[in-house]
Structure 1
Amino acid sequence: MNLIYEVISEEKIEYCRDLCNELMAFQKSKAHITPELFDSMNFDTRLVPSVKNAIHNYIVIVKDADKIVGYVYANISPKEVYSNSFATFFDLSSVEKQNVGCLSQFYIKEKYRKYGVGSILFKMSMNWLKQFDDVDDYFIYVSNGNEDALEFYKRKGFTVSHDILDGFITVLRSNQEFK
Protein backbone atom coordinates (compact mmCIF):
# COMPACT_ATOMS: atom_id res chain seq x y z
CA MET A 1 0.00 0.00 0.00
CA ASN A 2 1.48 3.29 -1.15
CA LEU A 3 -0.93 6.01 -0.07
CA ILE A 4 -0.66 9.53 -1.42
CA TYR A 5 -2.61 12.45 0.08
CA GLU A 6 -3.42 15.16 -2.44
CA VAL A 7 -5.18 18.47 -1.85
CA ILE A 8 -7.36 19.18 -4.87
CA SER A 9 -9.06 22.35 -6.09
CA GLU A 10 -12.81 22.87 -6.21
CA GLU A 11 -12.62 22.45 -9.98
CA LYS A 12 -11.60 18.82 -9.45
CA ILE A 13 -14.41 17.78 -7.07
CA GLU A 14 -15.61 15.39 -9.76
CA TYR A 15 -12.79 13.13 -8.48
CA CYS A 16 -14.95 12.62 -5.37
CA ARG A 17 -18.17 11.69 -7.18
CA ASP A 18 -17.98 7.90 -6.77
CA LEU A 19 -16.75 8.02 -3.17
CA CYS A 20 -19.35 10.61 -2.19
CA ASN A 21 -22.09 8.39 -3.61
CA GLU A 22 -20.52 5.43 -1.76
CA LEU A 23 -20.59 7.49 1.43
CA MET A 24 -24.31 8.17 1.04
CA ALA A 25 -25.00 4.44 0.47
CA PHE A 26 -22.82 3.58 3.49
CA GLN A 27 -24.69 6.05 5.68
CA LYS A 28 -28.03 4.66 4.53
CA SER A 29 -26.87 1.10 5.32
CA LYS A 30 -26.01 2.16 8.89
CA ALA A 31 -29.07 4.34 9.53
CA HIS A 32 -31.92 3.11 11.72
CA ILE A 33 -33.80 6.43 11.74
CA THR A 34 -35.43 7.38 8.42
CA PRO A 35 -32.79 5.80 6.14
CA GLU A 36 -34.96 6.74 3.15
CA LEU A 37 -33.78 10.34 3.55
CA PHE A 38 -30.54 9.18 1.94
CA ASP A 39 -32.37 8.22 -1.27
CA SER A 40 -32.07 11.77 -2.62
CA MET A 41 -28.56 12.38 -1.26
CA ASN A 42 -25.65 12.07 -3.66
CA PHE A 43 -22.68 13.93 -5.08
CA ASP A 44 -24.88 16.40 -6.97
CA THR A 45 -27.22 17.14 -4.06
CA ARG A 46 -24.68 17.15 -1.21
CA LEU A 47 -21.10 17.90 -2.20
CA VAL A 48 -21.67 20.26 -5.14
CA PRO A 49 -24.07 22.62 -3.30
CA SER A 50 -21.90 22.62 -0.18
CA VAL A 51 -18.84 23.65 -2.18
CA LYS A 52 -20.84 26.40 -3.90
CA ASN A 53 -22.24 27.76 -0.62
CA ALA A 54 -18.90 27.84 1.19
CA ILE A 55 -16.51 30.76 1.43
CA HIS A 56 -13.47 28.45 1.52
CA ASN A 57 -13.21 24.77 0.62
CA TYR A 58 -10.63 22.13 1.42
CA ILE A 59 -10.69 18.78 -0.33
CA VAL A 60 -8.13 16.03 0.14
CA ILE A 61 -8.17 12.76 -1.75
CA VAL A 62 -6.21 9.66 -0.82
CA LYS A 63 -4.82 7.53 -3.62
CA ASP A 64 -3.41 4.04 -3.61
CA ALA A 65 -1.44 4.07 -6.84
CA ASP A 66 -3.92 5.74 -9.22
CA LYS A 67 -7.11 4.63 -7.41
CA ILE A 68 -8.87 7.13 -5.13
CA VAL A 69 -9.66 5.30 -1.87
CA GLY A 70 -10.76 8.10 0.44
CA TYR A 71 -11.47 11.78 0.77
CA VAL A 72 -12.27 14.51 3.23
CA TYR A 73 -14.10 17.74 2.58
CA ALA A 74 -14.03 20.66 5.02
CA ASN A 75 -15.27 24.19 4.59
CA ILE A 76 -15.66 27.62 6.05
CA SER A 77 -19.20 28.89 5.55
CA PRO A 78 -21.47 31.65 6.83
CA LYS A 79 -23.39 30.28 9.80
CA GLU A 80 -26.69 31.07 8.04
CA VAL A 81 -25.96 28.32 5.48
CA TYR A 82 -26.76 25.81 8.24
CA SER A 83 -30.36 26.91 8.55
CA ASN A 84 -32.27 25.80 5.47
CA SER A 85 -35.35 23.92 4.32
CA PHE A 86 -33.79 20.59 5.33
CA ALA A 87 -32.90 21.51 8.92
CA THR A 88 -31.45 24.06 11.30
CA PHE A 89 -28.19 22.42 12.27
CA PHE A 90 -27.41 24.53 15.36
CA ASP A 91 -28.69 27.55 17.26
CA LEU A 92 -27.25 30.40 15.18
CA SER A 93 -27.19 32.70 18.22
CA SER A 94 -24.77 30.29 19.92
CA VAL A 95 -22.08 31.18 17.37
CA GLU A 96 -20.57 34.63 17.97
CA LYS A 97 -18.63 35.02 14.75
CA GLN A 98 -20.21 35.16 11.30
CA ASN A 99 -18.54 32.00 9.95
CA VAL A 100 -18.19 28.41 11.10
CA GLY A 101 -15.85 25.59 10.19
CA CYS A 102 -17.22 22.23 9.24
CA LEU A 103 -15.73 18.87 8.53
CA SER A 104 -18.49 18.11 6.09
CA GLN A 105 -17.71 14.79 4.40
CA PHE A 106 -15.26 12.08 5.30
CA TYR A 107 -15.06 8.66 3.70
CA ILE A 108 -12.45 5.92 3.41
CA LYS A 109 -13.03 2.64 1.60
CA GLU A 110 -13.36 -0.15 4.14
CA LYS A 111 -10.17 -1.95 3.04
CA TYR A 112 -8.15 1.18 3.96
CA ARG A 113 -9.59 1.80 7.41
CA LYS A 114 -7.56 1.06 10.54
CA TYR A 115 -4.27 2.16 8.93
CA GLY A 116 -4.31 5.71 10.32
CA VAL A 117 -5.72 7.23 7.11
CA GLY A 118 -8.63 8.77 9.01
CA SER A 119 -6.36 10.36 11.60
CA ILE A 120 -4.17 11.86 8.89
CA LEU A 121 -7.15 13.28 6.98
CA PHE A 122 -8.68 14.57 10.21
CA LYS A 123 -5.47 16.33 11.24
CA MET A 124 -5.00 17.86 7.78
CA SER A 125 -8.58 19.18 7.88
CA MET A 126 -8.34 20.59 11.39
CA ASN A 127 -5.01 22.29 10.62
CA TRP A 128 -6.64 23.89 7.59
CA LEU A 129 -9.75 24.97 9.54
CA LYS A 130 -7.68 26.47 12.38
CA GLN A 131 -5.94 28.94 10.06
CA PHE A 132 -9.06 31.13 9.80
CA ASP A 133 -9.17 33.85 12.45
CA ASP A 134 -12.84 34.57 11.75
CA VAL A 135 -13.90 31.11 12.98
CA ASP A 136 -14.16 29.87 16.56
CA ASP A 137 -16.79 27.16 16.21
CA TYR A 138 -16.33 23.87 14.38
CA PHE A 139 -19.03 21.32 13.57
CA ILE A 140 -19.25 17.74 12.38
CA TYR A 141 -22.53 16.05 11.50
CA VAL A 142 -22.75 12.29 11.96
CA SER A 143 -25.63 10.27 10.55
CA ASN A 144 -27.48 7.96 12.88
CA GLY A 145 -26.10 4.45 13.13
CA ASN A 146 -22.52 5.47 12.36
CA GLU A 147 -21.20 4.80 15.85
CA ASP A 148 -17.60 4.27 14.67
CA ALA A 149 -17.47 7.78 13.22
CA LEU A 150 -19.12 9.25 16.31
CA GLU A 151 -16.55 7.65 18.62
CA PHE A 152 -13.66 8.65 16.32
CA TYR A 153 -14.63 12.33 16.47
CA LYS A 154 -15.16 12.21 20.22
CA ARG A 155 -11.64 10.79 20.64
CA LYS A 156 -10.39 13.71 18.55
CA GLY A 157 -11.83 16.33 20.91
CA PHE A 158 -15.35 16.94 19.62
CA THR A 159 -18.35 16.63 21.92
CA VAL A 160 -21.94 15.80 21.14
CA SER A 161 -23.94 19.01 21.11
CA HIS A 162 -27.42 17.79 20.14
CA ASP A 163 -29.41 15.74 17.67
CA ILE A 164 -31.49 17.09 14.81
CA LEU A 165 -34.28 15.66 12.67
CA ASP A 166 -35.46 13.40 15.49
CA GLY A 167 -32.06 11.77 15.85
CA PHE A 168 -31.29 11.40 12.15
CA ILE A 169 -28.09 13.47 12.63
CA THR A 170 -25.90 13.95 15.69
CA VAL A 171 -24.22 17.34 15.82
CA LEU A 172 -20.71 17.44 17.26
CA ARG A 173 -19.07 20.71 18.17
CA SER A 174 -15.73 22.03 19.26
CA ASN A 175 -14.17 25.39 19.89
CA GLN A 176 -10.97 23.96 21.33
CA GLU A 177 -7.79 22.28 20.19
CA PHE A 178 -8.07 18.98 18.37
CA LYS A 179 -6.18 15.76 19.05
Structure 2
Amino acid sequence: MAITYEVIPVEKAEECRALCNELMVFQKSRAWIKAELFDSMNFDTRMVPSIKNAVHNHIVLVKDNDENIGYVYSSISPKWAYSNDFATFFDLSSVEGEHVGSLSQFYIKDGYRKHGIGSKLFQLSMNWLSEFDYVKDRFIFVSNGNDDALEFYKRKGFAVSHQILDGFITVLRNK
Protein backbone atom coordinates (compact mmCIF):
# COMPACT_ATOMS: atom_id res chain seq x y z
CA MET A 1 0.00 0.00 0.00
CA ALA A 2 1.16 3.51 -0.88
CA ILE A 3 -1.32 5.56 1.17
CA THR A 4 -1.44 9.34 0.77
CA TYR A 5 -3.72 11.97 2.32
CA GLU A 6 -4.60 15.05 0.32
CA VAL A 7 -6.62 18.04 1.47
CA ILE A 8 -8.66 19.04 -1.57
CA PRO A 9 -10.56 22.29 -2.19
CA VAL A 10 -14.34 22.16 -2.60
CA GLU A 11 -13.82 22.85 -6.30
CA LYS A 12 -12.43 19.30 -6.48
CA ALA A 13 -15.12 17.69 -4.31
CA GLU A 14 -16.27 15.83 -7.42
CA GLU A 15 -13.30 13.52 -6.81
CA CYS A 16 -15.27 12.15 -3.85
CA ARG A 17 -18.44 11.42 -5.85
CA ALA A 18 -17.93 7.67 -6.21
CA LEU A 19 -16.80 7.28 -2.59
CA CYS A 20 -19.76 9.31 -1.31
CA ASN A 21 -22.16 7.18 -3.33
CA GLU A 22 -20.46 4.02 -2.01
CA LEU A 23 -20.92 5.38 1.52
CA MET A 24 -24.68 5.70 0.97
CA VAL A 25 -24.88 2.11 -0.35
CA PHE A 26 -22.80 0.90 2.62
CA GLN A 27 -25.02 2.75 5.10
CA LYS A 28 -28.16 1.30 3.51
CA SER A 29 -26.69 -2.20 3.70
CA ARG A 30 -26.21 -1.80 7.46
CA ALA A 31 -29.42 0.07 8.28
CA TRP A 32 -32.37 -1.64 9.88
CA ILE A 33 -34.41 1.50 10.52
CA LYS A 34 -35.81 3.31 7.45
CA ALA A 35 -33.14 1.91 5.11
CA GLU A 36 -35.21 3.16 2.17
CA LEU A 37 -34.26 6.75 3.06
CA PHE A 38 -30.83 6.03 1.58
CA ASP A 39 -32.38 5.49 -1.87
CA SER A 40 -32.45 9.24 -2.45
CA MET A 41 -29.09 9.96 -0.82
CA ASN A 42 -26.00 10.45 -2.96
CA PHE A 43 -23.22 12.94 -3.67
CA ASP A 44 -25.65 15.46 -5.19
CA THR A 45 -28.17 15.30 -2.36
CA ARG A 46 -25.79 15.00 0.60
CA MET A 47 -22.35 16.45 -0.06
CA VAL A 48 -23.20 19.26 -2.48
CA PRO A 49 -25.87 20.85 -0.21
CA SER A 50 -23.60 20.48 2.83
CA ILE A 51 -20.80 22.29 1.05
CA LYS A 52 -23.15 25.08 -0.03
CA ASN A 53 -24.56 25.56 3.51
CA ALA A 54 -21.14 25.59 5.18
CA VAL A 55 -19.05 28.63 6.02
CA HIS A 56 -15.87 26.52 5.88
CA ASN A 57 -15.30 23.08 4.33
CA HIS A 58 -12.55 20.53 4.77
CA ILE A 59 -12.16 17.46 2.56
CA VAL A 60 -9.35 14.96 2.93
CA LEU A 61 -9.08 12.36 0.18
CA VAL A 62 -7.10 9.17 0.79
CA LYS A 63 -5.42 7.37 -2.08
CA ASP A 64 -3.57 4.13 -2.54
CA ASN A 65 -1.31 5.04 -5.44
CA ASP A 66 -3.85 6.65 -7.82
CA GLU A 67 -6.97 4.92 -6.47
CA ASN A 68 -9.35 6.88 -4.23
CA ILE A 69 -9.93 4.65 -1.22
CA GLY A 70 -11.47 6.95 1.40
CA TYR A 71 -12.35 10.45 2.49
CA VAL A 72 -13.55 12.58 5.35
CA TYR A 73 -15.69 15.68 4.97
CA SER A 74 -15.95 18.17 7.82
CA SER A 75 -17.50 21.60 7.97
CA ILE A 76 -18.24 24.68 9.98
CA SER A 77 -21.85 25.69 9.41
CA PRO A 78 -24.44 28.00 10.89
CA LYS A 79 -26.43 26.01 13.43
CA TRP A 80 -29.67 26.79 11.57
CA ALA A 81 -28.41 24.62 8.67
CA TYR A 82 -29.14 21.57 10.85
CA SER A 83 -32.85 22.23 11.02
CA ASN A 84 -34.50 21.48 7.68
CA ASP A 85 -37.27 19.50 6.00
CA PHE A 86 -35.42 16.24 6.65
CA ALA A 87 -34.86 16.65 10.40
CA THR A 88 -33.76 18.88 13.25
CA PHE A 89 -30.44 17.34 14.18
CA PHE A 90 -30.05 18.87 17.66
CA ASP A 91 -31.61 21.38 20.01
CA LEU A 92 -30.38 24.64 18.50
CA SER A 93 -30.59 26.38 21.87
CA SER A 94 -28.05 23.91 23.30
CA VAL A 95 -25.33 25.21 20.97
CA GLU A 96 -22.96 27.87 22.21
CA GLY A 97 -22.62 30.49 19.49
CA GLU A 98 -24.03 30.60 15.99
CA HIS A 99 -21.86 27.92 14.33
CA VAL A 100 -21.19 24.23 14.81
CA GLY A 101 -18.46 21.93 13.64
CA SER A 102 -19.33 18.62 12.09
CA LEU A 103 -17.58 15.56 10.83
CA SER A 104 -20.42 14.61 8.53
CA GLN A 105 -19.06 12.10 6.03
CA PHE A 106 -16.41 9.49 6.60
CA TYR A 107 -15.74 6.46 4.43
CA ILE A 108 -12.96 3.98 3.83
CA LYS A 109 -13.29 1.19 1.28
CA ASP A 110 -13.46 -2.36 2.53
CA GLY A 111 -9.99 -3.90 2.59
CA TYR A 112 -8.45 -0.65 3.85
CA ARG A 113 -10.19 -0.60 7.22
CA LYS A 114 -8.33 -1.57 10.37
CA HIS A 115 -5.00 -0.17 9.09
CA GLY A 116 -5.03 3.13 11.00
CA ILE A 117 -6.41 5.14 8.07
CA GLY A 118 -9.61 5.97 9.95
CA SER A 119 -7.73 7.21 12.99
CA LYS A 120 -5.54 9.39 10.77
CA LEU A 121 -8.59 10.85 8.95
CA PHE A 122 -10.36 11.44 12.24
CA GLN A 123 -7.34 13.26 13.67
CA LEU A 124 -6.96 15.41 10.55
CA SER A 125 -10.63 16.37 10.84
CA MET A 126 -10.42 17.18 14.55
CA ASN A 127 -7.23 19.21 14.05
CA TRP A 128 -8.96 21.27 11.37
CA LEU A 129 -12.11 21.78 13.46
CA SER A 130 -10.01 22.91 16.43
CA GLU A 131 -8.62 25.79 14.35
CA PHE A 132 -11.97 27.58 14.81
CA ASP A 133 -11.86 28.86 18.39
CA TYR A 134 -15.34 30.34 18.15
CA VAL A 135 -16.87 26.91 17.48
CA LYS A 136 -17.44 25.11 20.77
CA ASP A 137 -19.85 22.39 19.66
CA ARG A 138 -18.91 19.52 17.35
CA PHE A 139 -21.25 16.83 16.10
CA ILE A 140 -20.96 13.51 14.32
CA PHE A 141 -23.98 11.77 12.83
CA VAL A 142 -23.98 7.97 12.57
CA SER A 143 -26.58 6.01 10.65
CA ASN A 144 -28.31 3.13 12.37
CA GLY A 145 -26.65 -0.23 11.94
CA ASN A 146 -23.17 1.25 11.67
CA ASP A 147 -22.11 0.05 15.11
CA ASP A 148 -18.42 -0.07 14.20
CA ALA A 149 -18.45 3.66 13.43
CA LEU A 150 -20.42 4.43 16.58
CA GLU A 151 -17.90 2.61 18.77
CA PHE A 152 -14.97 4.19 16.89
CA TYR A 153 -16.22 7.72 17.64
CA LYS A 154 -16.94 6.86 21.27
CA ARG A 155 -13.35 5.59 21.65
CA LYS A 156 -12.21 8.93 20.19
CA GLY A 157 -13.95 10.88 22.96
CA PHE A 158 -17.38 11.64 21.53
CA ALA A 159 -20.51 10.76 23.49
CA VAL A 160 -23.95 9.78 22.28
CA SER A 161 -26.21 12.81 22.68
CA HIS A 162 -29.51 11.55 21.26
CA GLN A 163 -31.19 9.88 18.31
CA ILE A 164 -33.31 11.44 15.60
CA LEU A 165 -35.84 10.13 13.10
CA ASP A 166 -36.88 7.29 15.41
CA GLY A 167 -33.33 5.98 15.68
CA PHE A 168 -32.35 6.38 12.02
CA ILE A 169 -29.40 8.59 13.09
CA THR A 170 -27.46 8.66 16.34
CA VAL A 171 -26.06 12.09 17.15
CA LEU A 172 -22.71 12.22 18.92
CA ARG A 173 -21.32 15.35 20.53
CA ASN A 174 -17.94 16.39 21.85
CA LYS A 175 -17.71 16.06 25.62
Q: Tell me the TM-score normalised to structure 1 length.
A: 0.97
Secondary structure in structure 2 of the residue aligned to 1:80: helix
What does the per-residue CA deviation read over 1:119-144, in whole Å, with 9 as the maximum and x for residues that have no partner? 00000000000010110000000000
Corresponding pairs, count: 175
**2:75 is the alignment partner of 1:75:** yes
Question: Hey, what does 1:41 align to over in structure 2?
Answer: 41
For residues 77-96 of structure 1, what are the structure 2 equivalents within 5 Å? 77-96=77-96
Question: Hey, what does 2:148 align to over in structure 1?
Answer: 148
**How far apart are the structure 2 equivalents of 1:32 and 1:81?**
27
**2:138 is the alignment partner of 1:129:** no
CA drift of 1:160 comes to: 0.2
Secondary structure in structure 1 of the residue aligned to 2:89: coil
Secondary structure in structure 2 of the residue aligned to 1:97: coil
Which structure 2 segments of 5+ residues have no match?
Answer: none
**How far apart are the structure 2 equivalents of 1:100 and 1:28?**
27
Which structure 1 segments of 5+ residues have no match?
Answer: none
Question: Hey, what does 2:113 align to over in structure 1?
Answer: 113
Secondary structure in structure 1 of the residue aligned to 2:49: helix
**How far apart are the structure 2 equivalents of 1:44 and 1:88?**
20
CA drift of 1:154 comes to: 0.1
**2:56 is the alignment partner of 1:56:** yes
| Aligned partner letter, 1:52 | K
Question: Hey, what does 1:159 align to over in structure 2?
Answer: 159
Secondary structure in structure 2 of the residue aligned to 1:120: helix
| Aligned partner letter, 1:3 | I
**How far apart are the structure 2 equivalents of 1:28 and 1:145?**
9
- RMSD of aligned C-alpha atoms? 0.5
**How far apart are the structure 2 equivalents of 1:112 and 1:134?**
35
CA drift of 1:9 comes to: 0.2
Q: Tell me the TM-score normalised to structure 2 length.
A: 0.99
Secondary structure in structure 1 of the residue aligned to 2:157: coil
| Aligned partner letter, 1:80 | W
**How far apart are the structure 1 equivalents of 2:30 and 2:108?**
15
CA drift of 1:152 comes to: 0.1
| Aligned partner letter, 2:76 | I
Identity of aligned residues (%): 72
Question: Hey, what does 1:10 align to over in structure 2?
Answer: 10
Tell me which stretches of 4 or more aligned residues in structure 1 moved more than 6 Å: none
**How far apart are the structure 1 equivalents of 2:133 and 2:2?**
35
